Amino acid sequence: MRSLLYLLAVILLIGWVLGFFVYSAGALIHILLVLAVISILLGLIRRGVDG
């Protein structure tokens, strides 16, 4: 499950970077960034809880 969260975070970050530099999608870009950060934080929290 942990690797799935990191994979999702990486995909969202790549989408954010592409959206930021290639497309002008407005708020969608920032939503992707927030989702990526949340995924990374959840992964770190779960890793800390699991030991």
pTM, two decimals, is 0.50
pLDDT tens profile 4-50? 778 888 888 887 777 766 666 666 777 777 888 888 888 888 887 76
Q: What is the pLDDT of residue 31?
A: 78
Q: Give the C-alpha distances (Å, rounded to integers) separating 5 from 14, 22, 25, 26, 35.
A: 14, 25, 24, 25, 11
**pLDDT value, residue 47:** 80
Amino acid at 32: L
At 30 the pLDDT is: 77
Q: Would you state the pLDDT for residue 51?
A: 57
